[in-house]
Amino acid sequence: MRRKKVNEEESDLHISGVDFGNIELPDLDLSLFDVLNDEYNEETRYIKPKVYELKPEYVLYDNAVKLAKDLRLDFGARYDVFVSGSFIFGDFLEAFIMGNNAKCKKMTVSTLSLNQNNVDSLYNLLAGNYIDELNLIVSVYFWGNEIRSLIPYMYRKLDFGNKFQLSVASIHTKTAQFETLGGRKVVIHGSANLRSSGNIEQFTIEENPELYDFYDDHLSRIVEKYATIKKPVRGNDLWAELIKKKFND
């Protein structure tokens, strides 16, 4: 794959260290811009996109860790964040929860795609007892492409202790929300999938009970309807089912 590198002075828009000229395009045919020139070959108003090669030293787990350390999510707090294309949102989730020693009664994540490292991060949270219940919603696109590779790995790695549910639906959402034992209801939503994309991403993280309940209500229906793991009914839930069946009969 050929890429063209642009000098740093050609990109003059920088916000908090994030270069918005960081556009990576594979084998882009720029002949369109020749067509857009008029017959007198005068300069047009259309500008060729700047193509930039990502530096490998930017692909650091520390990016997610540093952000997780800087955020102090008190009740009612909100942060709007831009991150570089090398930022790994799944690493941020792991670092933020572990760094704050948060105990999540429930976490629901929806994403278009993820990778094995993201699965391992979720495993660390489950195995470390940071999450009591994990619901993961993935896209039909992801399921179709990973049915013989990452999907079996996810079942083997995450499906233990009746804590995990994997649901598959026609979604393009990128969200994560969790409720802690300390009473915080946190919602994270934006453009970032769990894995890095090579593109500038943005997301908002906020402690917001009303927004949490809104997301939880709708995504819980998706989790239930499109679940791929059949879970046993136990305890009080089982008793409630028995009573309901008796009175219905």
Q: What is the mean pLDDT of residues 52-78?
A: 63
Average pLDDT, the chain: 76
**Is residue 99 scored above 60 in pLDDT?**
yes
Contact indicator for 92, 67 with CB cutoff of 8 Å:
yes
What local confidence, expressed as pLDDT, does residue 121 receive? 92
Token digits for 245? 């069946």
Which of 47-61, 92-106, 163-177, 210-224 has the least mean pLDDT? 47-61
User: For the domain 59-231, what is the CATH superfamily, name and number?
Assistant: Endonuclease Chain A (3.30.870.10)
Element (H, E) at 238: helix 235-248
- With a CB cutoff of 8 Å and minimum separation 6, the contacts of 44 are 33, 36, 37, 38
Pair type for strands 78-83 and 14-15: unpaired
% residues pLDDT > 70 (the chain): 66
Distance between CA atoms of residues 121 and 35, nearest Å: 48
As a whole number, mean pLDDT of residues 217-238 equals 82
Q: Which residue has the tokens 């995450």?
A: 158
Q: How far apart are CA 16 and CA 106, in angstroms?
A: 33
Span(s) in the chain for CATH 3.30.870.10: 59-231
Counting Cα atoms < 13 Å in the Cβ hemisphere of 160 gives: 13
Q: Return d(Cα 155, Cα 159) in angstroms, integer.
A: 5
The pLDDT, as a whole number, for residue 56 is: 39
CA 243 remoteness from chain centre: 40
DSSP annotation of 205 reads: E
Cα separation values, 100 from 82, 112, 162, 180, Å: 21, 27, 25, 11
pLDDT at residue 222 tops 90: yes
> pTM of whole model > 0.75?
no
Residue of 226, 108, 118, 227 lying closest to 176 (CA atoms): 108
